[in-house]
Amino acid sequence: MPRILLVEDDHLVQVVMAQTLVEEGYELDAADSVARGSTLLGARRYDLVVADGCLPDGVGLELADAAQARHIPALIVTGYAFSLRIGMSRDFSRYTVLDKPVRPAELLRAVAGMLLPPR
């Protein structure tokens, strides 16, 4: 089963997202900051990174960039998509973005779509 790195600083949101993914059968590691997420990303092999857009020590795009450098797809889940697009000099369009609040079914569809092998 695919392994996902979930990086979300809101504990309740992290619990709901983690439970949704685990119940669907995904293996999961969770972190609540860019630093902790980066440590896990460097220590294990992941099939997907799901990161909050705004974290206490940075932005999820930092993790998405690091994942992409390792050829791992990244999904950004944020309530600040518009602000991130305006304020970031990085190419934000490279990533799939879900706006919060995200419904469990929407999260699962996005994750499943990102984990499909390329045609």
Contacts 24+ apart (CB under 8 A), 56-59: 56/9, 56/32, 57/33, 58/33, 58/34, 59/34, 59/84, 59/88
| CATH numbers and ranges of domains, the chain | 3-115 (3.40.50.2300)
Strands 27-31 and 96-99, sheet pairing: unpaired
Contacts of 98 (CB under 8 A, 6+ apart): 75, 76, 77, 78, 106, 107, 110
- The per-residue pLDDT string of the chain (119 residues; one tens digit each, 9 = 90 and over) reads 899 999 999 999 999 999 999 999 999 999 999 999 999 999 999 999 999 988 999 888 899 999 999 999 999 998 765 555 444 445 556 778 898 899 999 999 999 999 976 55
pLDDT reported for residue 87: 46
How much is the pLDDT for 118? 55
